[in-house]
Structure 1
Amino acid sequence: MTEYKPLPWRQLLIICICRFSEPICFTIIFPYVVFLVRDFGIPEERAGYSVGWIASSFALAQFCTGIPWGMLSDRIGRRPVILFGMTGTMISIFLFGLSKSFAWAIISRALCGVLNGNNGVLKSMIAELTIDVSEADRAQAFALLPFMFGLGSVIGPVLGGFLADPVKNYPTVFGNLGWITEFLTTYRYFLPSFIASCICFCGWIFGMLFLEETLMGKRPQDKKKKQDEEQRLLSQGEANYSTFPNGKKHSPTCSPTPTIHESERKPTFREAITQPVILASTAFGCIALHGVFYDELYSLWLSTSRNNGGMGFISKEIGASLAVAGFMTLIVQLFIWPRLAGKFGILRLFQLCLPCFAAVDFLQGFVRYLYHVPNFNGVYETKQWVWVGLIACLILKTICSTIAFTSMMVIVSDSSPRMDTLGAVNGFSQCVSSGCRAIGPAICGILWDYSNHATWIPKKVRPHVSFGVLSMLALITFAASLRIKPSHRYPKVVDLVDEEQEETTTRI
């Protein structure tokens, strides 16, 4: 019977702290980015297009750097890459708060994607930390990353929605602060970005002080073992030299058994990216495209005026609704996903949630008709039933989204052919998902603007075109998932080295 180790909760907690700040920096702009774009002088009918490019710039940059960051972490270790990525996030979100032009917003957002490849590297760390634990504990550990993303997704939109334009929204607090008031009047969306940058800095401090390396060969115990091996070989060499007089050297008939560090050969990128990795990464890219398409469409749909097919919500209302979705993510991660994963299996559960995703996507566009349903006082054109329908759709969507993303994280890591290719595999999957995230917001913005102003489309149908495309995308993802087969967990580097040593001994 296999004996499993307990979860390394101390290191998992530090990873969670490092992860927590990044979704805050990512989601904090959602409630006000449409209004920021309008401040640039871009008209409402073109706002969706511009917002899409701001969101796409981040993912497009990660598409270009995901694989290099992953492969670099396979060489120099996970810890330095993660700390550098957090530094990049901290600087870029600070610069985003100083945006006064569309170009500045895109460049600062893209800078975050260039300097941060932590998503894939953190997955590699958890995979390495949980190699000797049970499947149930491993699933629980992998669920921590989306759990922290959900927690950050609760706090981020709340901060963004309530701290945006503080002089206007809170004149009694920020209206008489001298140069601070003038600065916050000029840069109306700086305060939430500054707070996000400070949160990221706190996470960086924790990582610098407490985060430990997990890459085999770079861990402190591995370095000590290597030094002990070198000292032992040096001592043996001196002893062998002293047994042969007159300076004669001993020529052994065979090479000694190689050590782990001598035998370890880093696999090439082509060796790491096998067919199972490609299939899993493709499905991950599809679900990433769906997720970012929905997020972009949701903000556009709520912030657009009702005359143009939207819901007419303000930034505070958008932030509050996104906070509900983030809170629901926490509930799903803690109580729903682990039980369903144990009952159905991770791959099967992923496949089951996708048709439900498609149904929710299709139905959400009809929430706008709840404006025509009277409230309890018989008054029409209120948001009472609109909020009920919106929250119901958000809850169902969040359940499906959380299950899909968490399942794909485990599926991608399990597709890795061996342990020391985790960085390359997760970097590749991150590259694929980032490429999909790069085109998703742009496609969504263009589709939303075009469908809502296309005269050949009936006016009542126009707001539903984007939701229909989103529903079809969920079904395409379901079709792609059917090609994935359950994979066995990758072997450790030590196991591969042991096999090589056995083959060497047999040949000798």
Structure 2
Amino acid sequence: MIESFGVSSDGIGKWTGICAASFSFCQFLTAITWGRASDRFGRKRTILAGLLCTMITSLMFGFSTTLSLALISRALAGLGGGNGGIIRTATAELVPQKDLQPRAFSIMPLVWTIGSMVGPAMGGMIADPAHKYPLSFGSSSFFLRFPYSAPNLATCCLFVPTIAVGFLFLRETLHTSQNENDVGLHLGRALLRPCSRQINLGQHQPSESVSGFNQQGAHQAVYERPTEHGRARNSLQKSEPPSQLQQFTWKSVFTSQSQINLLQYGLLAMHSVAYDQLLPVLMHHPRSSTAPMSHGRQNWFLFTDGFAMSSSRIGLLLMVNGMVGMVLQFVVFPPTVKKLGVLPCLRVGAIAFVFLYALVPFAALIPSATAREAALLAIMIFKTLLTVFAWPCSTILLTNSATSPGILGTLNGVATSTAAIGRTVGPAMGGAMFTIGLSKGSIVLPWLAIAMMAVLGVIPLFWLRPIRPSARKSEEVANRHDNEDIRVEDEETEPLLTSSKPGTDGRHL
């Protein structure tokens, strides 16, 4: 698409990078605002607004006929692209149970992986149809004028039902907005009523919680059980009124533990995205005529060999890696985290990233092409495994570092901004080091640079600790302005979002 704007082959890489960076930078500028909006106006409204903005800017990008218009559309997409943090917030509020969080937070990366495989494949098939399928679309003046509109029109066809389903069936999870009348939910129930025998299907009492506490203070989930009259009996407990909820302050957002989590989150984005950008370049890079190891051990770091793979071959390996990643995400991750714990899994994975990145370029030294590709695929799958653990674990720790549900959207907005900085800086540094490394005769240099980024990501983990509710409640007591006599439990209990809050039962997952 960039080439169709009249950009020379030498400048395609630069302008592609600028186009991607414009999205990340603008997302950094507005992600916190989107998070604050979700804390004030509700998760559902903000998510639907974000989806609408993304759909409009996608259409703008597809109908761009100049480079400047393409850059503007991507920048606007970044300004409206704050949904990632809000969806993580809603997920945390829908699934407050600690033992269910690993599986819940593994769903988002799983869906992302599916989209990352299907999206590029679909876009590549239907982009520029007038030239790819001249018999069917060769005479279409529309596709001749807007050759890259087809993928974005197809995306729009996916956005419309997504927004409709969200409007009709997505429940509000923000505790202060659950008492408001939701026209979309009422309409959704009316549409489903003919298909259900229970006319009260999906009804929800926002002012009450379906989680209670027994006399010893242990968490006790109470589920609806149908009676002989078709009704449900609930053991309900009144939730804390909004007047007693912690008031928003930036100090409550940037606690010591949340700052460490945010730093680790940004560094993870920096080295992970830098790897994702450089790997296809290394896979396509040609091989040199002389094998480095034939000149002795001293030249092992001075070689410029790539894998010399075709685009179709690269796509095949990426697809296989994505399919394996889906299995790892949903089958391996939840039971492993449940057994070993979130923080230990994150620490082990962060250390393994360092050695993995340093090992990547040396797979190109294997003489056999088959063995070389097999080694590369093994590295890709191992990196996917580490990513499968790193992102959800980091998100869970960040969520549980929030001092109050009322600031959770803002905290995830800050995390989105931090990750956007990492996604901007990481690929820029990796690309610059790749150019410098080739000029010095060493393709190892950029991968060592990414490994050093991963080293920086390990350091904060030594100060990171699981947040215990007793400590969190102590912070809330210190920040309250009234003189209530609040009893702080000494024994270890569940994290923040396992407390009794309206609408936070696990049934909506």
TM-score by length of 1: 0.74
- 1:389-423 CA-partner distances (Å, limit 9, x unpaired): 33222111100111111110101101111111101
Bigger Cα displacement from structure 2, 42-51 vs 67-76: 42-51
Matched, 1:279 2:260: yes
Contact 1:74/1:420, CA 8 A, preserved across alignment: yes
Out of 442, 460, 468, the position equivalent to 2:448 is 468
Q: Which amino acid aligns with 1:325?
A: N
Give the letter aligned to residue 168 of structure 2.
L
Q: Partner of 2:468 in structure 1?
A: 488
Is the Cα–Cα contact under 8 Å of residues 59 and 438 in structure 1 kept in the other structure? yes
Partner of 1:291: 272
- Equivalent of residue 111 in structure 1, options 70, 76, 79: 76
Does the 8 Å CA contact 2:52/2:163 hold for their aligned counterparts?
Answer: yes
Q: Which has the higher helix share?
A: 1
Which one of 190, 193, 198 corresponds to residue 157 of structure 2? 198
> What is the CA deviation profile of residues 326-352 of structure 1, one whole-angstrom value per residue up to 9, with x for unaligned ones?
222211111111122122211110110
> In structure 2, what is the equivalent of residue 252 of structure 1?
none
Cα 1:175/1:220, change in 2 over 3 Å: farther
SS of equivalent residue, structure 2 residue 359: helix
Distance 1:259 1:422, change over 3 A: closer
- Cα 1:70/1:260, change in 2 over 3 Å: same
Structure-2 residue corresponding to 1:162: 125
Does 2:40 correspond to 1:75? Answer: yes
Pick one of 432, 445, 449 that aligns with 1:446.
432
* Deviation of 1:477 (Å): 0.8
The structural deviation recorded for 1:321 is 3.1
Residues 1:338 and 2:337 are matched in the alignment: no
Whether 2:68 is the aligned partner of 1:88: answer no
The share of aligned pairs that are identical, in percent, is 26
Report if the CA contact (8 A) 2:103-2:334 is conserved: yes
Structure 1 range deviating more: 159-168 or 306-315: 306-315
Matched residue, 2:217: none
Task: State the secondary structure of the residue aligned to 1:175.
Answer: helix
Contact persistence 1:357–1:397 (CA under 8 A): yes
Instruction: Return the match for 2:249 from 247, 252, 268.
Output: 268
In 1, Cα distance between equivalents of 2:306 and 2:64: 26
Q: Structure 1 stretch 99-108 or stretch 471-480: which is displaced more?
A: 99-108
Within a 5 Å distance, the mapping from 1:83-482 to structure 2 comes to 83-131=48-96, 133=97, 135-169=98-132, 171=133, 174-177=134-137, 179-180=139-140, 182-220=141-179, 260-264=241-245, 266-304=247-285, 310-370=306-366, 372-373=367-368, 384-452=370-438, 454=439, 457-458=440-441, 461=442, 463-482=443-462
The amino acid across from 1:343 in the alignment is K
TM superposition shift of 1:82: 0.3
Distance (whole Å) between structure 1 residues aligned to residue 458 and residue 392 of structure 2: 16
SS in 1 for 2:420: helix
Distance 1:40 1:481, change over 3 A: farther
Distance 1:468 1:40, change over 3 A: farther
Structure 2: which 5+ residue stretches go unaligned?
Answer: 183-203, 209-238, 289-303, 488-509
- Separation in structure 2 between the aligned mates of residue 99 and residue 422 of structure 1, nearest angstrom: 37
**CA 221–114 in structure 1, closer or farther in 2 if over 3 Å, else same:** closer
Q: Aligned partners of 1:434, 1:305: CA distance in 2, in Å? A: 32
Residues in 2 aligned to 1:446 and 1:101: alpha-carbon distance in whole angstroms:
27
CA RMSD of aligned residues (A): 3.2
- Counterpart residue identity of residue 339, structure 1: P
